[in-house]
Structure 1
Amino acid sequence: MKTPFTMLLSLLLMVSLTSSAQNNQVANSTFNGTTASSYVGMVEVGYLYQDNKNNAPNTADSSPTLILFNGYQFHRLFSLGATVGLDFYNQVLVSPVALGIRGTLLTTRVSPTFGVDAGYGTTFLSDESDNIKNKGGWMVNPTLGMRVLAGNNTAFLFNLGYKIQRATTTEPVPWGNNMFITEKHSFKRLSARLGFMF
């Protein structure tokens, strides 16, 4: 079975190979806001970090994350689209589906960027063996970062953000008959992602 990180790298490679066909739709001048509105896509891979206060001191939990953004750029300061992704938390695999906003502040080759994703994290891909039931919840992820134009109608991205994701896990009590324990998760993690724009 593939590890979560191997799955992320495989998806990133697959998207990068298919994006070359779509590069003709978006020029670097579009990224700078000097042409008409057009399609914009982004792929970002990284980690979500959280202090682990329940275990040994000075430790942290980290989980891989992948985000795909497909949208329409109205202006360099405003792109609107949909995001889908995978967040590999220890307790549950969450697949967030959200409305996303992206913006680039400057017309220079290197520019600060911002973004906000808000939506719902589903758990339909999560493993529910041994009668464990997972349920998703709402999600929000504001980010700030940098964009570097790379030629060939692409740009590299780096961003930091703060992701809040709600989820619920229900599992049977080992010693009880038809008794269940429900645990509500509120994941609050620093997000750090690298990616590219096409």
Structure 2
Amino acid sequence: MPTIFKFLWMGFILAHTIDSLRAQAPTFKPHYVNMTEVGGLFGRVVYDVPGSVPATQQVENRLSLTIQTFNGIQLKPRLALGVSCGVDWYQAVLLAPVAAGVRYDLARSKKNVTLLGLFDAGYSSNWLHVDATDYKTQGGMMLNPGLGLKFGFKSGSALVLSLSYKRQNAKVTKPLNWGEIEKWEDRVYNRMALRLGMMF
């Protein structure tokens, strides 16, 4: 058999083999995904002691409740894009962040445990918060990067344990004292968020 026909025959066999393997491989279809979590926000707070002369500051540990749900589309086997919304109960303010979110599978073990990368960026609103007389609270920018462990079940759902850094801005306008024109406080909440939840 001439050499050219041998190469053509080998190319035909190779193309047929690749086509057969593609037909056997499962095809991925984008689908809806939900990840709902509850947990705590851990941090340390520095604040001025009222009425102290000279002015002194106090440092305290704080723990706040946080609830969050992520709703999106699993675009690829390892990548999901969507929107997250939630509620964060700080001591002096109740904020409801809404953000664009990414969930990405970084690595997976043979026992169906996945290392998950998380990132949310958005804005927190005050629509659930109630201000005291002459106070006005406004939300601000929010960033929330982190890592999680996803423990997969045969049903397709998973248990998720995540640890992330959460930075949230807020502004509080306060009642005026004698001779004051304006009085406000910019707040930056820096917290470590430890959450437990389910992913469907």
Q: Which residue of 2 aligns with 1:80?
A: 81
In 1: Cα distance, 2:62 partner to 2:126 partner: 20
What SS does the corresponding residue of 1:172 show, helix, strand or coil? coil
- Structure with higher Rg: it is 2
In 2: Cα distance, 1:185 partner to 1:150 partner: 41
CA offsets per residue over residues 126-153 of structure 1, 9 Å max, x none? 1113121011111100010100012333
**1:190 to 1:34, Cα distance in 2 relative to 1, 3 A:** farther
Q: Which residue of 2 aligns with 1:8?
A: none
Q: Which residue of 1 aligns with 2:44?
A: 51
In 1: Cα distance, 2:160 partner to 2:77 partner: 15
Q: Amino acid of the residue matched to residue 107 of structure 2?
A: L
Indicate conservation of the 8 Å contact 2:108/2:114, yes or no.
yes
Deviation at 1:64, TM superposition (A): 0.6
**1:145 to 1:34, Cα distance in 2 relative to 1, 3 A:** farther
Q: Amino acid of the residue matched to residue 125 of structure 1?
A: L
Indicate conservation of the 8 Å contact 1:50/1:61, yes or no.
yes
Q: Which residue of 1 aligns with 2:101?
A: 100
Indicate conservation of the 8 Å contact 2:28/2:77, yes or no.
no
Count of residues in correspondence between the two structures: 164
Deviation at 1:114, TM superposition (A): 0.6
Q: Which residue of 2 aligns with 1:176?
A: 178
CA offsets per residue over residues 32-55 of structure 1, 9 Å max, x none? x97321110000111111123447
Q: How does 1:4-153 map to 2 (within 5 A)?
A: 35-54=28-47, 59-108=60-109, 109-153=112-156
Identity rate, percent: 34
In 2: Cα distance, 1:53 partner to 1:167 partner: 16
Q: Which residue of 2 aligns with 1:25?
A: none
Deviation at 1:73, TM superposition (A): 0.6
Q: What TM-score does the superposition give when structure 1 sets the normalisation length?
A: 0.76
In 1: Cα distance, 2:66 partner to 2:130 partner: 17
Deviation at 1:178, TM superposition (A): 7.8
Indicate conservation of the 8 Å contact 1:172/1:179, yes or no.
no
In 1: Cα distance, 2:127 partner to 2:153 partner: 36
Q: Amino acid of the residue matched to residue 93 of structure 2?
A: V
Deviation at 1:68, TM superposition (A): 0.6
Q: Which runs of 5+ in 2 are unaligned?
A: 1-25, 48-56
Q: Which runs of 5+ in 1 are unaligned?
A: 1-32
Q: Amino acid of the residue matched to residue 61 of structure 2?
A: A
Q: What TM-score does the superposition give when structure 2 sets the normalisation length?
A: 0.75
